[in-house]
Amino acid sequence: MRILHTMLRVTDLERSLAFYTEVLGMRLLRRQDYPEGRFTLAFVGYGEESTTAVVELTHNWDTDHYELGNGFGHVAIGVEDLYGACETLRQRGGVITREPGPMKHGTTQIAFIRDPDGYAIELIQSRA
């Protein structure tokens, strides 16, 4: 078994696709409209769906707002150079919501950025 994808509901698919591809550097892997159901699914990721977990962006055409709730935490992405990644994300228009540094009560280096719908993305420094 393996994790296939994480699904996030988004209010503006084009804005979300721009964030995940242009800011975070993922690729649009596939996109499908479902006119009878009035929704679109778009899958983005750093690798092929056959070998890596990806993010499914679900856009329900008639919904313009979602409550994030308090059950969802974040999506985590490993990076080789945390400080360099944060600077690159800033240059691409991303807003770092938690500056890079050690996590509370630990030594793992982390930072956070939010997507256009408010979902938290944790950046974690890869260990050598």
CATH number of the domain to which 55 belongs = 3.10.180.10
Domain boundaries, position 112: 75-125
Q: What is the pLDDT of residue 105?
A: 87
Whether 18 maps to a domain, the answer reads: yes
> Where does the pLDDT of residue 13 fall: very low under 50, low under 70, confident under 90, or very high at 90 and above?
very high
Q: 121 and 84: one domain?
A: yes
User: Residue 49: pLDDT above 80?
Assistant: yes
Q: 99 and 52: one domain?
A: no
Q: pTM above the 0.85 mark?
A: yes
Contact 114, 74 (CB under 8 A): no
What is the total count of domains within the chain?
2
Q: 54 and 80: one domain?
A: no
- C-beta neighbour count of 77 within 10 angstroms: 16
The CA distance from 98 to 9, in Å, is 23
Active site positions, annotated: 122
Whether 66 maps to a domain, the answer reads: no
Q: 56 and 81: one domain?
A: no
Q: What is the pLDDT of residue 106?
A: 86
Q: 11 and 49: one domain?
A: yes
User: Residue 7: pLDDT above 80?
Assistant: yes
Contact 53, 6 (CB under 8 A): yes
Whether 21 maps to a domain, the answer reads: yes
Q: What is the pLDDT of residue 2?
A: 86
The one-character DSSP state at 13 is: H
Contact 83, 126 (CB under 8 A): no
Q: 79 and 56: one domain?
A: no
> Where does the pLDDT of residue 128 fall: very low under 50, low under 70, confident under 90, or very high at 90 and above?
low
